[in-house]
Structure 1
Amino acid sequence: MSFDLVVLGCGGGPDELNLSSYLFKTCQNQWCDGILSVEAGSGLGALRELLSRDPFIFEDLKVIGKDDLAEKVLDDGSPSQRAARIYSWIRTFLISHAHLDHVCGLIIGAGSTSSSSPRYIAGTETVVRDIDTVFGGQKLWPKLASRYESPASTFGFIYNSLSSFGPYHSLSPNISVLLLPITHGMVDGGTYESTAFFIRNDTTLEECLFFGDVEPDSISSYPQTLNVWRTAAPKIRDGMLSHIFLECSWTSARPIHLLFGHLSPPHILDELMALAREVVSVGRHSTRKILDSQLEGILRGVTLVIIHCKEPITPSNPESDIVDVIVGEVKKLVYPARLGVSVIGARQGMKLRF
């Protein structure tokens, strides 16, 4: 086991109470040693609600630690106070792209949270610049972030601009991350990029793969996901990558022209088939076409976690749960392909150890 994860939020909107936000640490560390928040759509409010429903959501994942107040956080104060304390343990917010459903909690809470250690907003230079249009302009929000560590006492956060394609960047205790660009549609006639993260436990060297929002390679004017699969393939073959977090925003009924840079279940199947072919291709020198029959079981041991499901404003069936619907559609398409991959859906408040 390498990672502990608490899903603070996993939705793709429009419900502002449940937006993309995933709290990571290694199994070798404790929560108060420092948390890596991958995305920051939901924040303090969501954490308070989770603690109200389950005050011990962190307890079985070793919330007790070296911090003098860590032993008290589960018992002392209101859910809001406990949430603020746990939220202060986040050392880095790693952002795939600057759309509001991925940064809203970070921005709203920036002026109201504190920490005894520097706190960082990490992402590509484009992500840093985009977030700074909010903090830097001082019209939408106060200037609460800086590129320089020296004024950390004045600004709440320090930007950490990360290069893509390597090297691995150390962001949290025993966690390093490799960034690769992916395409999230078009804007003003150009490509709008998001990011895929290879998140590595530096002790065990095991990794997971986390995608920001991404459109299908099959319809993209600038397909980049295949590069991610080629990087993932040898890690999967060697048993060093077991979990992939991949968005599926829409049901299969969503027309292609209304995907808006996101995936639906048929495209999940396409992408997994592409990944499986890359795994088969590792170390292969033959130029012969890879047959579907050669893909059977090739992704056994891999768990696909579906994230970023968008709640319909007017659901056709009010009793249905959109995560159940989308995950069910993905399973019906993926499982007959016999790739061996397991499919689950992320839920707000879910705890994973893997």
Structure 2
Amino acid sequence: MALLKNFWICLILISMNSFSQKVQKTNFQIVHLGVKGGIDEKNLSAYLIAPLNTNDFICLDAGTIHAGIEKAIENNVFKISSEAVLKKYIKGYLISHAHLDHVAGLIINSPADSSKTIYATKDCMEMMQKHYFNGETWANFGDQGTGYQIKKYHFQTLNPKEQTPITNTTMTVKAFPLSHVNPFESTAFLIKNDNAYALYLGDTGADQIEKSNKLSLLWTEIAPLIKNRTLKGIFIEVSFPNEQSDSQLFGHLTPKYLMKELHTLSDLAGKGALKGFKIIITHMKPPTENFAKIKAQLKKQNDLGLEFIFPEQGKRFEL
């Protein structure tokens, strides 16, 4: 009788442990302000991320801001005005690179914004100061660079792989270089809050096409976080379907090349480590029929058991 009782206790404990492994605790909330690449100026790369149960958001890229906030308000994600979200909830911006589809919303909304910090790598920051916030193309709302400095924004340069606190939040960030039409660089941002991480990649090509090792180096850095289950998800672009020729990728990924890169990550993290892992697909480019192609190709090639998430503008989810 005692032996049977112990058997059932062990079975219950095993079941509880298995359930706890499957139901992973969420640590971040995400609001998609813009999710596409390409020509839709109302829906370009911009993702708000904050620790769960806070409104201390940092904006990952800033292609679209106002239209995305308005969409989120329509979806009852925010209960305050768009101006209040911009001024009070968005604590700063992490800019992966200075292409307009990643910074246009920041520039256009700067006159209505509140004081906060813009974070970027040295090359990206210099491009923004030279081409945008220069007192000619646009007023210099920053505290560095040419022209009259309005000093609404603090321009903070990120050193690669150096952990930097994000002002007015409990989060920190590490920047890693990416190749986006070699030798032009984009950036990946590893966000940390407590002992949880999220990884956001700006535009990037595959190492094979870019003749680079930047993704390989990034995967080596984050593989231990996947092994110990502290990395909650990866935001990564797939701009084109597989039909796009290698010569016309312009520093972007297809489903084929994304899966090849994720196999490299899987080899580093260990067999089965990516099963059920969340991959948030960003920067899909029009025409509209490409979206269905990309989704179908990713589903067909998903031999790692990944959970692909296709974000919608103005929607919220937890990570």
1:201-236, CA deviations, whole angstroms, 9 ceiling, x for partnerless residues? 1x3x11011100000111112231011111110000
Choose from 69, 78, 94 the match for 1:58: 78
**Secondary structure of 2:126's match?**
helix
Alignment correspondent of 2:69? 47
Distance in 2 between the 1:159 and 1:165 partners?
A: 18
Distance 2:212 2:299 in 1: 28
Deviation readout 1:121-153 (Å, 9 max, x if unpaired): 1011111111112344322111211139xx99x
Q: Select which of 181, 186, 198 maps to 1:185.
A: 181
**What is the RMSD of the two structures over their aligned residues, measured on CA atoms?**
1.8
Letter in 2 for 1:96: S
Aligned length: 291
Work out the CA distance in 2 between the residues paired with 1:94 and 1:249: 21
Name the structure 1 match of 2:190.
198
1:228 corresponds to which residue? 218
Distance 1:165 1:176, change over 3 A: same
TM-score normalised by the chain length of structure 1: 0.78
Gaps of 5+ in 1: 60-72, 74-81, 281-294
The match for 2:204 is 214
Report the identity percentage.
29
Offset at residue 112 of structure 1 (A) = 2.5
C-alpha separation in 2, matches of 1:231 and 1:298? 15
1:121 counterpart = 2:118? yes
Q: Aligned equivalents of 1:135 and 1:304: distance in 2?
A: 32
The letter for the 2-side match of 1:333 is Q
Q: Distance in 2 between matches of 1:112 and 1:174?
A: 25
Contact residue 161 and residue 174 of structure 2 kept, 8 A: yes
What CA distance in whole angstroms lies between the structure 1 residues aligned with 2:222 and 2:128? 29
In 1, Cα distance between equivalents of 2:227 and 2:305:
13
Question: 2: CA distance between counterparts of 1:136 and 1:210?
Answer: 25
CA distance in 2, matches of 1:101, 1:279: 33
Indicate the SS of the match to 2:295: helix
Cα distance in structure 1, aligned partners of 2:154 and 2:28: 25
Any residues of structure 2 matched to 1:90-101 within 5 Å, and which?
90-101=90-101
Secondary structure of the 2:111 match is: coil
Q: Secondary structure of the residue that 1:19 maps to in structure 2?
A: coil
CA distance in 2, matches of 1:255, 1:12: 18
Q: How big is the shift at 1:167?
A: 2.6
**Structure with more of its chain in helix, by fraction:** 2
Residue in structure 1 matching 2:277, options 295, 302, 307: 302
What 5-or-longer segments of structure 2 have no aligned partner? 1-25
Does residue 345 of structure 1 match 2:313? Answer: no
Shift of 1:48: 2.2
Detail structure 1 runs of 4+ shifted over 3 Å in the superposition: 168-172
Alignment of 1:12 onto 2:37: yes
